Amino acid sequence: MGYELYYWPGIQGRGEIPRLILEDAGATYRDVAREPGGMKRMDRVLAGDEPALLPFAPPFLRAGRLWLAQSALIASYLGEQLDLAPRTEQARLAARTLMLTLADFIDEIHDTHHPVAVEKYYAEQKSAAAQRATSFREARMPKFLRYLERNIERAGHGVLVGRTVTYVDLAAFQIVAGLRYAFPRAFGRRAKQVKQLLALHDRVARRPALAAYLASDRREPFSEHDIWRRYPELDP
Amino acid sequence: MGYELYYWPGIQGRGEIPRLILEDAGATYRDVAREPGGMKRMDRVLAGDEPALLPFAPPFLRAGRLWLAQSALIASYLGEQLDLAPRTEQARLAARTLMLTLADFIDEIHDTHHPVAVEKYYAEQKSAAAQRATSFREARMPKFLRYLERNIERAGHGVLVGRTVTYVDLAAFQIVAGLRYAFPRAFGRRAKQVKQLLALHDRVARRPALAAYLASDRREPFSEHDIWRRYPELDP
């Protein structure tokens, strides 16, 4: 089955975890908004043209006749469809739980530079951003990182859940890569406490299909228009 | 099957939507942390005592032998188990998408009083909260409300998805009730634009099992220790 992923072109953003899953699985997919005329198509779906689903925002996915939105739901759906999920019902529920927790972590990363108004520029909220980033570096990031590290320890196979790499491990890879970009100092200071998470990042990055994707021009670079932004004043 | 819900006692919080679903369905469940000794049991699970799942935070649910966490996942799981979900695969995916979008809305409501540090008091972040609440009242709340109203219009049966009341409608009820408590002025000014959503709220509130729950002492009152807080300075 061919998939259609819809997400803003030019950034990784919340489309990237679904994209990593599609690429790692070698799935056939179209990245619709990056194609000529694709932005108009995406806008029409956002305006309500698709009877099956009115998405609140990108990303959204067409999987054959089915439509769904919300990055964590898309990730769990694709992971389970593409054999990148654990097999037992309990482990699938644990993976879905982890994926939503990773999505929460990403929301908090985003809010470090947009704590008071998503519709305004970072420059208009720098004072609140400095406070939020302090809380993120000192309280929230360490709490989320400890949680991920503990899950890997508990699973006992170098992955977050089960025995083999699943979609939640691809999501964790993206978070580590993003934190290294956006908070190189604060994240670097925690490196010794998340050795298994860093090993998991490296293990995911070496997977042949994913390595090929990361080296391709389909992988957008990190930037200050994205979720993960390197503002040195937020990472002193 | 008996369910065990785990959530902080004394508030509605993120446990309330799972609770509404359990109550509406007439399910047999224990609200563990409200029982004598239940807080200790919840703490042990949070500390990692349950091999099946390490939750990041409450709420979490035991359903027979299965464990899961994250309020939106619990809501979708319970809704689908308890015949409070649509039947077709497409409508189930639409409901899961809507549930995650409602959870995002709730996160943004919470962040109006905690924009820069969840671990600090509101009194320590009042200036940023005033900015975030302005953005919420003027941009985000209207956008989410329009989205919900459009979904009800599209479904054509006075509900968010499908033809009958589902778990996402119970979640929408909770959001309307919470907004009326926390932002009576700002929400009141939008009332004419969300007539179908208000009608859905009233329809849900009249369901016999839910009405009985809302009138019981199991329904905690809204308060300023909860997600939905009435701070008059945030709703001028």
Please write the tens of the pLDDT for every residue from A111-154.
999 999 989 999 999 999 999 999 999 999 999 999 999 999 99
Q: Is residue A11 part of a domain?
A: no
Q: Using CB atoms, pick whichever of A51, A101, A119 lies closest to residue B56.
A: A101
Phi-psi region of A231 (alpha: psi -120 to 50; beta: other; left: phi over 0): beta
Q: Note whether B65 contacts A: Cβ–Cβ < 8 A.
A: yes
- The ipTM assigned to this model is 0.98
Alpha-carbon distance of B186 to B161, in angstroms, equals 26
Q: Is residue B79 part of a domain?
A: no
Q: Note whether A88 contacts B: Cβ–Cβ < 8 A.
A: no
- Residue A72: which residues within 8 A CB-CB, separation 6 or more? A96, A99, A100, A102, A103, B100
Contact B131 A150 (CB under 8 A): no
Question: Above pLDDT 90, what percent of chain B?
Answer: 98
Q: What is the pLDDT of residue B21?
A: 98
CA angle B219, B224, B229 (to 5 degrees): 90
Q: Is residue B177 part of a domain?
A: yes
* DSSP-derived secondary structure letter, A232: G
pLDDT tens, residue by residue, B45-80: 999 999 999 999 999 999 999 999 999 999 999 999
Decide: A152 and A160 in contact? Cβ < 8 Å: yes
Q: Is residue A93 part of a domain?
A: yes
pLDDT band with cut points at 50, 70 and 90 for residue A1: low
Q: Note whether B74 contacts A: Cβ–Cβ < 8 A.
A: no
A-chain CB neighbours of B97 within 8 Å are 53, 55, 68-70, 73
CATH number for B185: 1.20.1050.10
Q: Note whether B94 contacts A: Cβ–Cβ < 8 A.
A: yes
The residue segments making up the domain with residue A139 are 89-207
Q: Is residue A227 part of a domain?
A: no
Tokens of A81: 């469809």
Q: Is residue B80 part of a domain?
A: no
Q: Note whether B46 contacts A: Cβ–Cβ < 8 A.
A: no
Chain A residues 24-43 with CB within 8 Å of chain B: none
A-chain CB neighbours of B93 within 8 Å are 53, 66-68, 73, 77
Q: Note whether A184 contacts B: Cβ–Cβ < 8 A.
A: no
pLDDT band with cut points at 50, 70 and 90 for residue B234: very high
What's the number of domains chain A is made of? Answer: 1
CA distance A171 to chain B (A): 16
Decide: B160 and B200 in contact? Cβ < 8 Å: yes
- Residue of chain B whose alpha carbon sits nearest to that of A100: B70
Q: Note whether B131 contacts A: Cβ–Cβ < 8 A.
A: yes
Q: Is residue A127 part of a domain?
A: yes
φ/ψ of A143, rounded to 5, equals -65, -45
Q: Please check the confidence at residue B224 and state whether its pLDDT lies above 90.
A: yes
